[in-house]
Structure 1
Amino acid sequence: MTLKRNILLAGAVLLASGGLAQAEMMATTVNDLNVRAGPGPQYPAVGLATRGSTAVLDGCIEGSRWCRVDVNGMRGWVYADYLQVDRGGSQVIVEQHRDEIGVPVVTYESTASVVPVDPQPAPGDELLGPVGAVETITPPETVRTYIDTNPGQTVQLGGDVVVGAEVPADVTFQSIPDYEYRYTRINDRPVLVDPGTRRIVYVYQ
């Protein structure tokens, strides 16, 4: 009886350790975002991960917001601001809680074919501020008509133009008649912005 009990206990320990060895850190994408070939906006996008996609989080570069993930059959790099994980039943942004949730540290070795710049974009070269939650909107067709007839000048910024991203303070917005949101063009893409929070609420494709 004792021998049988010891064998069962040993089996339980083996199963437990096997489960730990296979444990993966799972994350969810906060918004649509580009998955890039390397940790920086200068690297080409390997594809688009749609909002709510489940990703396996390998880890993030120390001192950087870039993290390596496997998502929707793609392997690449995304901002930690755009990922959330479950922590005690609540969804938290990886960048804001990476120490608490124990995100592994990974490194990136560049190849001769790609000469990276700073792996973390400098202030002013990206959509500043973490991605925040915004109300989903569907703008009326009259708004697109107004934008098409009043194109305005485009602003060049690094980073991914996604819903929820905060637009830098030095970017000006255009008013749209009888509409609460403002309009600007980022990297030649029309976007609608909440003037109060400066967050993008809609991106025209």
Structure 2
Amino acid sequence: MKLTTLTIASAIALTAAVPAFAQTTSAKAGAELTVRTDPTIAAPITGVLALNEEVTIEGCLEDVSWCKVTAADAEGWASGQYLYVEDNANAVPLVDMAGNPEELVIITQTEEGVSQGDQNGAAVATATVGALTAFALGGPVGAIVASGIAGTAVGAAAVEPTPDTLTYVAANPVDTVYLDGEVVVGAIVPAEITTFEVPQPEYRYLNVNNLPVLVDAETGTIVQIIR
């Protein structure tokens, strides 16, 4: 991915696809969502958005894979896949608007230099071994956002991890595995990725994109991010 000096290419005007959102600059997080310094899964973490937390959109990459956001306690880049806007009771994922650049503030590329995000992205490109996939129905955003509107994260742990499990994970760090896509509760780790035992047999753990996570031992679904 090339990322260079950022410029705003167009103003927000969501009238083409969703008239109710004209001049909207805010969205909500459809999952507990990591905010990073640059638009890449390897970038340092600056904060975490709570489920349904409102953010101000400063701009998005053209494919809306990442958006620059500002929230109460976090500022940086968040995965556009898990950001949505509301139209009455309906959630409209930002990625649904990616086909028409007139509908969002688009952050474009220039040729003035390469940012740290480029360097991080280049390092990850050679190490990425798979992709996180959505849990359940409706695709990545549909599943997560639908759960977010309901107030319950899809794929959350049915049984709370015990203190022994959390202590074990902290005391036994493992190398990170880089997977395309942001780490959220409900995403599924590919079956071919190695996971590790914890004291609770219903769970296993691994480190994805520099975040330790517990997964369901049978399905590989992320049930908790250990921060």
TM-score range, shorter chain: 0.5 to 0.7
CA distance in 1, matches of 2:133, 2:57: 21
Structure 1 residues 74 and 141: alpha-carbon distance in aligned structure 2, compared to 1, 3 A threshold: closer
Contact 1:58-1:67 within 8 A present in 2 as well: yes
Q: 2:178 aligns with which of 157, 162, 180?
A: 157
Contact 1:127-1:165 within 8 A present in 2 as well: no
Structure 1 residues 148 and 136: alpha-carbon distance in aligned structure 2, compared to 1, 3 A threshold: closer
Q: Deviations over 1:34-68 (max 9, x none)?
A: 32333223544443323331012344322351122
The answer for unaligned runs of 5 or more in structure 2 is 1-19, 135-139, 145-153
Q: Which residue of 2 aligns with 1:114?
A: 115
- Give 1:55-74 correspondences, 5 Å limit: 55-72=55-72, 74=74
- Give 1:27-66 correspondences, 5 Å limit: 27-66=27-66
Q: Deviations over 1:5-57 (max 9, x none)?
A: xxxxxxxxxxxxxxx99832431112333323332235444433233310123
Q: Which residue of 2 aligns with 1:141?
A: 163
Task: Could you list the structure 1 runs, at least 4 aligned residues long, displaced by more than 6 angstroms after superposition.
Answer: none
CA distance in 1, matches of 2:206, 2:108: 35
- The percentage of aligned residue pairs carrying the same residue is 27
CA distance in 2, matches of 1:188, 1:57: 25
Q: Which residue of 2 aligns with 1:10?
A: none
- Give 1:50-199 correspondences, 5 Å limit: 50-72=50-72, 74-95=74-95, 97-98=96-97, 103-109=103-109, 112=113, 114-115=115-116, 116-117=118-119, 124=128, 128-130=132-134, 132=144, 133-136=154-157, 138-147=160-169, 151=172, 153-157=174-178, 160-176=182-198, 179-186=201-208, 189-199=211-221
Contact 1:154-1:187 within 8 A present in 2 as well: no
**Which structure has the greater CA radius of gyration?**
1
Question: Partner of 2:27: helix, strand, or coil?
Answer: strand
Contact 2:36-2:47 within 8 A present in 1 as well: yes
| Residue 160 (structure 1) shift | 4.5
Over the aligned positions, Cα root-mean-square deviation in angstroms equals: 3.8
Structure 1 residues 90 and 194: alpha-carbon distance in aligned structure 2, compared to 1, 3 A threshold: farther
Aligned length: 183
- Structure number with higher relative contact order (C-alpha < 8 Å, ≥ 6 residues apart): 2
What is the identity, as a one-letter code, of the residue corresponding to 2:97? R
Contact 1:58-1:106 within 8 A present in 2 as well: no
What is the identity, as a one-letter code, of the residue corresponding to 1:166? I
CA distance in 2, matches of 1:73, 1:145: 27
CA distance in 2, matches of 1:194, 1:147: 15
| TM-score scaled by length of structure 2 | 0.60
Question: Partner of 2:164: helix, strand, or coil?
Answer: helix
The answer for unaligned runs of 5 or more in structure 1 is 1-19
Q: Deviations over 1:89-122 (max 9, x none)?
A: 1234333x22599841512457757241559x75
Structure 1 residues 32 and 125: alpha-carbon distance in aligned structure 2, compared to 1, 3 A threshold: farther
| TM-score scaled by length of structure 1 | 0.65
